[in-house]
C-alpha cells in the first residue's frame, strides 16, 4: 500500500494510470500520447506532466515525455488495484455486465478506502484477475507478468480459452459478449483471410469474422491443436 497523499487528486491518479498503461504497452508517455489517451488538449497534458514531475511521480526528458518514478509506479498500481477489485466486485457480487463495470470502477476507484479495499479483497477470495482478465496487483502492489498469448497467434484448427478482452469500450464489450468472446469461453480459429484480412473463429454462438486489429487485443491461453 502507498500512504495517502492529499496531492494525489483524481486527475493526477488518472494520468498516472495512463502513463503506466503506455509503459506496459511498450510506448513512450509523450505529450501527444497522453493527450490522446486522456482525451485532452496537448497544453493540458503538458501542464499535468509538469505537475507530476513536481510531485516526484515522473521524470521528464526533453522530446521523450515522462517515465514513472518508483513512487509514481506504486501510486499507479494502487489505483489500478482499486479499479480492478471494484470491477470484479461489481461483476461478481452485484451482477453487473462486463460493459458496465469499467466506467463505474473509474468513478469509485479514487474514493475507495484501504479498509474497504481489504474487505472486498477478502470477500472475493483474494482474486488475481479482474472480469476482463487483467491481473490485479496484490496487497503489496506486485503484479504478475502476463503469460497469455494473443488470438492472432493461433494457427488454423487451434482451440483456446479466452483469457483477456479490452476493457475501455462498452460497445465493443457488448459485441464481444454477444459472440461469446469473453474470459473463460473457448473458441477455435477456423479461417484466416490472406493479406491481413479478418480471422474467423467458432464460439458457442457460431462462427464470427473479426478484424485482426481486434483479435490482437484478445488474450488467449491453453492453445491446443486439433491435429495433435
pLDDT tens-place string over residues 42-82: 999 999 999 999 999 999 988 789 999 999 999 999 999 99
Looking at residue 220, its pLDDT comes to 95
pLDDT over threshold 90, residue 148: no
State the fold for domain 149-225: SH3 type barrels. (2.30.30)
Single out the residue of 167, 171, 170, 178 nearest to residue 218, CA to CA.
167
* Residue at grid coordinates 469474422: 209
* Residue at grid coordinates 510531485: 55
pTM for the full predicted model: 0.87
Structure-model confidence comparison of residues 204 and 1, the more confident one = 204
Where does residue 85 fall: left (phi above 0), alpha (psi -120 to 50 degrees), or beta otherwise?
alpha
Domain boundaries, the chain: 1-145, 149-225
State the fold for domain 1-145: Arc Repressor Mutant, subunit A (1.10.10)
**pLDDT, average across residues 139-148:** 85
The answer to whether the beta carbons of residues 68 and 76 sit under 8 Å apart is yes
**pLDDT, average across residues 125-154:** 92
Amino acid at each position: 500500500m502507498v500512504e495517502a497523499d492529499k496531492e494525489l487528486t483524481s486527475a493526477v491518479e488518472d494520468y498516472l494510470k495512463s502513463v503506466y498503461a503506455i509503459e506496459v504497452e511498450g510506448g513512450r508517455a509523450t505529450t501527444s500520447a497522453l493527450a490522446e489517451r486522456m482525451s485532452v488538449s496537448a497544453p493540458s497534458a503538458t501542464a499535468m506532466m509538469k505537475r507530476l514531475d513536481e510531485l516526484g511521480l515522473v521524470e521528464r526528458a526533453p522530446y521523450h515525455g515522462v517515465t514513472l518514478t518508483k513512487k509514481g509506479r506504486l501510486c499507479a498500481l494502487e489505483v489500478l488495484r482499486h479499479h480492478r477489485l471494484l470491477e470484479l466486485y461489481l461483476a461478481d457480487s452485484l451482477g453487473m455486465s462486463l460493459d458496465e463495470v469499467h466506467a463505474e470502477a473509474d468513478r469509485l476507484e479514487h474514493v475507495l478506502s484501504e479498509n474497504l479495499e481489504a474487505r472486498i479483497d477478502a470477500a472475493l477470495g483474494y482474486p488475481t484477475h479482474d472480469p476482463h482478465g487483467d491481473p490485479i496487483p496484490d496487497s503489496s502492489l506486485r503484479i504478475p507478468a502476463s503469460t497469455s498469448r494473443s488470438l492472432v497467434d493461433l494457427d488454423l484448427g487451434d482451440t483456446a480459452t479466452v483469457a483477456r478482452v479490452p476493457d475501455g469500450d462498452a460497445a465493443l464489450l457488448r459485441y464481444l459478449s454477444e459472440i461469446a468472446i469473453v474470459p473463460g469461453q473457448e473458441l477455435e480459429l477456423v479461417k484466416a483471410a490472406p493479406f491481413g484480412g479478418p480471422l474467423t473463429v467458432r464460439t458457442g454462438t457460431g462462427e464470427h469474422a473479426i478484424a485482426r486489429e481486434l483479435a490482437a487485443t484478445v488474450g488467449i491461453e491453453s492453445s491446443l491443436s486439433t491435429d495433435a
